[in-house]
Structure 1
Amino acid sequence: MSSDQDAWVSESQETVTGKLQRKMKQSPLVPVGLAGFALIVAYGLYRLKSRGDVKMSVHLIHTRVAAQACVVGATALGATYSMIKEYRQRRAEERDAAVEQPNGRNTAK
């Protein structure tokens, strides 16, 4: 089992800060994606006045695509991170099991 489940607190007693910290431990790149999304949207709004000859709809589409790319990229990196973490954990468990039982035999009698 994972170590995030060892301190169970009911949802009604958990603070917002505690819940955010728990979620950040479970998937650390989600806040990165959200921050990137917010930065891109803020930059798009900032550049709205000086967009030049570009139509409003085209500018908004470009901003939306950039923000979505940031979120999708962070999600993909998060999934990759989780897969690598689980793979390493599984390999460590297999290695520990092999050390405890050399040649497939149990050394304890």
Structure 2
Amino acid sequence: MSEVIRLHVRYSTPDDKGETRRQRNERFGVEEETPEPDIDPDTAYLLDWFWNLHSARAESFDGPQPLSFTDIANWSALTGTILLREELGILRQMDAAFLSAHAIEREEARERRKGNT
């Protein structure tokens, strides 16, 4: 699941001009260079849960903040979703993958801006 998150961040994060890698690949006719992850239908619900949690994520000047246990517990209570301990662990791993991939994208964008000045 973490690789699915990394690929999503890599190809769906807009650049300084608001264009994602996915959109740029489509514009240049090289859609095949945009990998599509295999998602196991038995665990696809975890992706839905993660993106639902992510939509309420706190942001700071440093970027997105980690999902806290309180965030997850409140989401669980508000949605009536009962989490297994293993599912909680997977959601936290997905969040770590998201934060790591987002940090890489930010750093690469910073480098590109440096090279354009």
Q: TM-score range by the shorter chain?
A: 0.3 to 0.5
| TM-score normalized by the length of structure 1 | 0.39
Which structure shows the bigger proportion of residues in helix conformation? 1
CA radius of gyration, larger in: 1
Q: TM-score, normalised by structure 2?
A: 0.37
